[in-house]
Amino acid sequence: MTSAPERGPWEAEALPGAAASSSDGRGSPALVSVVIPCHDYGHYLPQAVQSVLAQTYADWELVVVDDGSTDDTAAVARSLIADHPDRRIRLLRQANAGVSAARNAGIAATTGRYVLPLDADDVIAPTMLERTVAVLDRHPDIAIASTDVSVFTDDDLPAQVLELPAYDKDLLLRRLIMFYCSLYRREVWQTVGGYAEDMRAGEDWDFWIACAEHGFTAHHIHEALFGARNKDDGLHVEAAENDLAVRARIVAGHPGMFKPVTRAWAQAVLAQDEREWLADERMPDDILTRAADMDQFLRVVMSLQRTARLQHRHIQRLERALAEREDPVPA
């Protein structure tokens, strides 16, 4: 088993009245460590933290990692800690290093047997920890517990449930079938060596493939217990728009998991040899069938999402204007 990756310097803030240690006051460490990296998402942070506070499972600690934010992330985190002095919530601050480095730093600063990464703009359902902890407690051979996803926006559009397939290692090599917000055993992170800090996008898929590479397996819960905020910006957009390069980097990082033709395709992509990696005979079937077509499909989907939101906002404005005309304010 390899040791956890070394981290750059980080600052831990022990605030007056806050339960700054990972102990519950009786000398027992928390069973679950929730880690929330946050870079300039201070306005979203309260909702993410509140979703943890609302858990039906209470044996957790929470670490917010301020990843070099230029907004009020630190102040928001301090306020949340002060408002809940009886909960195990801490704030770490570091220079901006990216979501992978922030996750790694937060996990390294915790002691829980299980780890749950949660981004500052997302949320978890009240029973997320209860349901996933039960899986790992009952099945020592399972290392990761994933769930379906409820995708929501900042608008009044109804959330949409994204149903994911049961865990299958071969399918994982072809496409992402688990979201980053899944509960896993600490030894998974230690053995894999943490998240790849040189990847700006696709680091979660890379992490899951590394888990499979080391023999860890997962169980999927077919319930939408994780809420992912869908925005017009953010890392998920960057990942979609750079899908081919992300896939190529994953293949190059785990060559033993893929066929020779796939490794050759990845090398061509990373070398930016477009003629080579778009050739039909070089298009691998175990990482992505018709990768170029999928890349174009992702771009179209993102465009349609933006158009739908603009139309929804326009309809709302028209409805408000119509209501004002039908019910004018008396002079």
Beta-carbon contacts of 73 under 8 Å, excluding residues fewer than 6 positions away, are 38, 39, 40, 41, 42, 45, 64, 66, 120
User: How far, in Å, CA of 137 to CA of 63, rounded?
Assistant: 23
Q: To the nearest whole number, what is the mean pLDDT of the chain?
A: 82
pLDDT tens track for 114-143: 999 999 999 999 999 999 999 999 999 999
Q: Is the pLDDT of residue 181 over 80?
A: yes
Residue 115 bridge partners (DSSP): 33, 184
In this predicted structure, what is the pLDDT of residue 207?
97
pLDDT tens track for 193-226: 999 998 888 899 999 999 999 999 999 999 999 9
In this predicted structure, what is the pLDDT of residue 14?
41
What end-to-end distance do the CA atoms of the chain give, in Å? 77
Q: Which of 17, 28, 44, 197 is nearest to 106 (CA)?
A: 197
Beta-carbon contacts of 319 under 8 Å, excluding residues fewer than 6 positions away, are none
pLDDT tens track for 288-304: 444 444 444 445 555 55
In this predicted structure, what is the pLDDT of residue 99?
95
In this predicted structure, what is the pLDDT of residue 306?
59
User: How far, in Å, CA of 5 to CA of 109, rounded?
Assistant: 12
Number of helices and strands (H, E) in the chain?
12, 10
Chain-centre distance for alpha carbon 63: 15
Angle between helices 260-270 and 243-253 (to 10 degrees): 130
Residue 207 tokens read as: 């992490």
When pLDDT is averaged across residues 33-42 and rounded to a whole number, the result is: 96
